[in-house]
Structure 1
Amino acid sequence: MIFKGLKKRSNKRHLNKLISERFVNVDDAKVNKLGVILNLNEIDDIELFRGLAAYLKVRPNKLKVIAFSSNGKEKANAWDLCFNPSDFGWNGTVKNVELKSFLDIEFDVLISYYTEELLELKLLTALSKSRFKVGILQTDKRLNDLIIKTDIKEFNVFKEELYKYLTILNKIKNE
């Protein structure tokens, strides 16, 4: 029990270090690769994100979705990757090789589609090497470059707002 508390504390410390060292460089690179991090306890429909990728003119093979499940690896066949708290070690280390490879992909846009305040989800967002990070309203505003204030169940509103802001930032392909 004591070790769990110490592990959580070391991961929080590592998260704060990652956020404070983050260099934000927003350029006008077009969206070619799209990554999504979500919480299975809040939303579990992958088709929403496939539709979003098509709406943003991202090819289906350039979309990667990972899902977090606090109670184990469920529905793994529908997701690119499903992870849980046991995939994390001390000081923000990731034990899962597939999860590490997801974090190493330099996405043009990473969408953090979760509202629940879970350390593992925050760590993934901070550890990602994506160029531009988008999230829905969360208490820690340091994680994302763009925060769209919507309810998690209002996906169509999020989709329209995301498209609008990516167009303003000149990140949508004109085809």
Structure 2
Amino acid sequence: MAFGDSIKKMIGERALRAEMKNIARQRAALSIDQAKSIGIVFEYTNAEDFDLLKKYVLYLREMKKKVRAIGYYAMKELPQFPYSKLEFDFFGKKSFAWNGKPADPILANFVEEEHDILLDLNMNDLLPLRYLTAVSRARFKVGRWEEDDHDLHDMLIDSPPAKGLKNFLRHIDTYLLKLNKPAAE
């Protein structure tokens, strides 16, 4: 990481912590069954993971959930591939100001939506995705367990990045389907 990038990251982290203190939201531990709307933040890294995510969104929609996913791509241009504009939006580095704050209306609209559940599929601990998760007004934020980052999410799931997105989505389903279920007698 270049010196300038590390300064930007440090400033972004500080801004993120300050904004987190000002976010007013109603927290609630919700299962997938209880949720009506689900937001997803993810990094576009390859077509295979994106196809998996499209299938997961379809699975959630079949459960009658309103789903909106927003993906970050680090490339200069988004690769050309078919996707539904109703369910997916994309943003890149240019969507953020120098201090790491969102400068794109798509991002502002996403974080203002009060999703019942926000799934943070940030496998590489990227600041732009962490920022969206932090300032989101979602009622229940679910993400991957990180050693030094416990205040960003309401529920943390231990799923190492090396095991991939598919493994993480399986864990999310396992826990969110069991949440708030009465114990078997």
**2:73 maps to 1:64:** no
Question: 8 Å contact 2:145–2:159 — kept in the other structure?
Answer: yes
Alpha-carbon offset, residue 158 of structure 1: 2.9
Q: Which amino acid aligns with 2:79?
A: K
**Displacement of 1:165 after TM fit?**
2.0
CA contact 1:37–1:65 (8 Å) conserved in 2 = yes
Shifted more, 20-29 versus 147-156: the winner is 20-29
Whether contact under 8 Å (2:49, 2:165) holds in the other structure is no
Structure 2 contact 112–136 (Cα < 8 Å) conserved: yes
C-alpha change, 1:106 and 1:75, in structure 2 (3 Å) is farther
Q: Equivalences for 1:7-156 in 2 at 5 Å?
A: 7-20=8-21, 25-28=27-30, 30-41=34-45, 45-56=49-60, 58-59=63-64, 62-75=66-79, 78=82, 80-89=88-97, 92-139=100-147, 140-152=149-161, 153-156=163-166
Give the deviation of 1:129 after TM superposition.
1.2
Shift of the 73–34 alpha-carbon distance from structure 1 to 2, 3 Å rule, reads farther
Deviations for 1:58-98, whole angstroms, at most 9, x for unmatched residues? 437x2111111122241365452211122112555321111
After superposition, the CA RMSD in angstroms is 3.2
When the two structures are superposed, what TM-score results if normalisation uses the length of structure 1?
A: 0.76
Q: What 5-or-longer segments of structure 2 have no aligned partner?
A: none
Cα distance change, pair 43–26 in 1 and its aligned pair in 2 (3 A): farther
Q: Is the alpha carbon distance of 1:113 and 1:76 closer, same or farther for their aligned partners in structure 2, counting shifts above 3 Å?
A: farther
Q: Matches of 1:108 and 1:35 in 2, distance apart?
A: 8
* 2:129 match: secondary structure: helix
> Match of 1:142, as an amino acid?
D
Q: Give the aligned residue type for 2:133.
A: T
Q: State the SS of the aligned residue for 1:45.
A: helix
- Residues 117, 54 of structure 1: CA spacing in aligned structure 2 closer, same or farther, 3 A cutoff? closer
Unaligned residue ranges in structure 1 (runs of 5+): none
Q: Are the aligned partners of 2:159 and 2:171 in contact in 1 as well (CA < 8 Å)?
A: no
1:167 aligns with 2:177: yes
Paired AA for residue 33 in structure 1? S
Tell me how far apart the structure 2 counterparts of residues 78 and 109 of structure 1 sit (CA, whole Å).
26
Give the C-alpha shift of residue 156 in structure 1: 4.3
Q: CA deviation at 1:127?
A: 1.4
CA distance in 2, matches of 1:71, 1:155: 20
CA distance, structure 1, for counterparts of residue 141 and residue 133 of structure 2: 8
